[in-house]
Amino acid sequence: IKGKHVLIVEDIIDSGLTLSWLLSNLGSREPASLEVCTLLRKPDAAKVAIDVKWIGFDIPNEFVVGYGLDYAEKYRNLPFVGTLAPHVYGG
């Protein structure tokens, strides 16, 4: 990816730990630019600071499902994003 413009497109950013590692890894490969775009971000769940250029929505630190997001391979096909009741996942 040396010299290329790289855009990471995320569905959701929770703690940011995985994305932080990915940014470090890709950054070491000398891209011309490295940006992040996410549909959803949970600022209260963040464990590391990440510069996200484009954010669809900041959301509370709740378990969300639908629109591609799942819990135990369920709820992924919902045509909306909603919160999952804590009793469903033991939270």
Q: Which of 11, 14, 51, 58 is catalytic?
A: 14
In whole angstroms, what is the distance from residue 13 CA to residue 83 CA? Answer: 15
Catalytic residue flag (residue 58): no
Q: Which two tokens stand for residue 51?
A: 């510069």
Could you tell me which of 44, 43, 39, 45 has the C-alpha nearest to residue 66? Answer: 39
Residues with a catalytic annotation lie at: 14
